[in-house]
Structure 1
């Protein structure tokens, strides 16, 4: 059988995209994240992986809580802000409405599905570091019609504010 062109790993992993926010030392940060997943049912746990090149990683390293926002397909502009710009150069929170959540982690007002988790552990994983979260606060139930989640395929053309 002839060698077939391999499917790029990222194409096989067309998962949801999230904006993860953090606050520590009087600083706010947030970035677009595609590496994240529930990892335990009991106790409930969620792992989010942040690039060590990102300012969000540096702020999150001192944070007690992170907020994970589930983006909808109609929120590409928010993905572009948090994924295509770097907090080293731009105040990403200047043009979005937000409020402090548990541990001060910013909760973005225009995102209907989110949760804030307490950082339980930090796990090295190469060029990304995993933050193990236990739920501390979550968005209220939403009765609005469901909109599909923003997925990797929807933002694959986005130029990152920082290289991975």
Structure 2
């Protein structure tokens, strides 16, 4: 059952704190059998385990948000020993750059999907981040308008969950 601090994905958007926020999900919809690269958003109750932000672009939304540095990457290579964790450049394995030229990762809420003990191929990070534009799907993450993402980030706690029914 969802608590007052939880974000709940619904057909109308992401419900949090008595409000409904428009959002987008993975291009392949929702799945109970997430795999690396499938473009799906995994079903379940996912804890929020961290928050990253670009200090050169936005104000720190909470005291537990961690700045994204120039060399910060996220390993998405199932064969890598550091699969589904924050790593530093230079990095020889497949990864995502967290300090992007576009604003998608200016603020990132990290979920515990396949973390901290990642199972190879089960899918790397499910982030909550800024969307490209309304209706544009993600690779499996949840995406929101910048203003909505920031408003949520300022109000969540370390006990908040993302619930994907």
In which range does the TM-score fall when normalised by the shorter chain? under 0.3
TM-score (norm 2): 0.27
Which one has a larger percent helix, Structure 1 or Structure 2? Answer: 1
State the TM-score, normalizing by the size of structure 1: 0.27
Between Structure 1 and Structure 2, whose CA radius of gyration is higher? 1
